[in-house]
């Protein structure tokens, strides 16, 4: 049975370590500040933003959420971002995704100052990552690398497969694994013989956004499986197919269960290690956001 890699516990340890950085900045008269731009009323986005706000408050990082209605235009969002770029008390800017369909997401993200881009999405920061001289790294891939490092998962010379090629997770994840000297394959919706390719992986990262897609037949025995997916399942029949019976009580209590891109009941007996959903990668994403915000504040104060 796979060892569960507890991302929540590791995130707590990282946040405890970051307290020293917050204190060091405070001695210099600097309070790190994070501004979150939230457009519309997507429930999942609202939950994520509240989690980030609580994490900032726990560390003593200034946190501000600026809201715009779902009807906001690209120019309105861009104007808000431009104003945050000009504020000295804001060291990090996070534009919560997804944005409404009428908003040009790429244009908005490109407007965030590269030195305040704590999500690591700006083309300049992506380019720096490609060149192995990163400023800010996308938070979810950075958190995964921290998880692998602290659990002493060997990467040099190993085969890694990333399922998903988004700019948020898949592509930066592949770069980071390659920088760690893994041999990396990136799979996507058009990959042929997906299960066969995935079975080559010593480290398998699932980030494709499809509940329970990867099953036992996709996993090499003993592989380390990182599940990035976060999917809400409200249908009782689907939930029974995707989660262990012990978790069905969550469905009755909340009206839904959160499941990853990995079918945990079938994969856990095969894998050597596995991140749970929830409680795996998600808390580490927030921890890396905090770390990036502190780095941005330190850079601005230098």
Active site residue ranges? 52, 96, 119
E strand segments, 40-134: 62-68, 92-95
Could you give the CA distance from residue 38 to residue 91 in angstroms, rounded to a whole number?
Answer: 17
Nearest CA among 121, 106, 210 for reference residue 171: 121
Q: How many CB atoms lie within 10 A of CB 45?
A: 17
Nearest CA among 273, 293, 301, 231 for reference residue 94: 293
Contact status, residue 164 vs residue 123, Cβ threshold 8 Å: no
* CB proximity list for 254: less than 8 A, separation 6 or greater: none
Could you give the CA distance from residue 119 to residue 194 in angstroms, rounded to a whole number?
Answer: 30
Q: Which residue in this structure is represented by tokens 């120019």?
A: 75
Contact status, residue 115 vs residue 56, Cβ threshold 8 Å: no
Q: 2: which DSSP letter?
A: P
Q: Which residue in this structure is represented by tokens 């890694």?
A: 160
């Amino acid at each position: 049975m796979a060892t569960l890699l507890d991302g929540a516990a590791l995130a707590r340890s990282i946040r405890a370590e970051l307290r020293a950085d917050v204190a060091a900045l405070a001695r210099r008269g600097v309070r790190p500040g994070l501004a979150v731009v939230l457009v519309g009323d997507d429930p999942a986005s609202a939950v994520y933003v509240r989690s980030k706000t609580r994490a900032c408050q726990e560390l003593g990082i200034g946190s501000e959420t600026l809201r715009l209605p779902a009807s906001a235009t690209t120019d309105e969002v861009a104007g808000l971002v431009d104003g945050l770029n000009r504020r000295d008390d804001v060291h990090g800017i996070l534009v919560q995704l997804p944005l409404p369909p009428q908003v040009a997401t790429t244009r908005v993200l490109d407007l965030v100052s590269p030195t305040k881009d704590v999500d690591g999405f700006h083309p300049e920061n992506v380019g720096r990552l490609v060149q192995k001289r990163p400023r800010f790294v996308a938070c979810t891939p950075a958190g995964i690398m921290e998880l692998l490092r602290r659990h002493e998962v060997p990467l040099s010379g190993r085969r890694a497969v990333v399922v998903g090629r988004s700019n948020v997770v898949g592509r930066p994840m592949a770069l980071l694994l390659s920088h760690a000297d893994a041999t990396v394959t990136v799979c996507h919706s058009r990959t042929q013989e997906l299960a066969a390719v995935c079975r080559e992986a010593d480290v398998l990262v699932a980030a494709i956004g499809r509940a329970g897609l990867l099953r036992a037949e996709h996993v090499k025995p003993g592989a380390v499986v990182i599940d990035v997916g976060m999917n809400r399942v409200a249908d009782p029949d689907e939930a029974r197919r995707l989660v262990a019976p012990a978790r069905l009580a969550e469905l009755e209590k909340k009206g839904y269960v959160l499941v990853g891109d990995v079918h945990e009941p079938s994969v856990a007996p095969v894998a050597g290690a596995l991140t749970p959903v929830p409680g795996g990668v998600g808390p580490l994403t927030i921890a890396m956001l905090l770390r990036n915000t502190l780095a941005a504040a330190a850079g601005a104060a230098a």
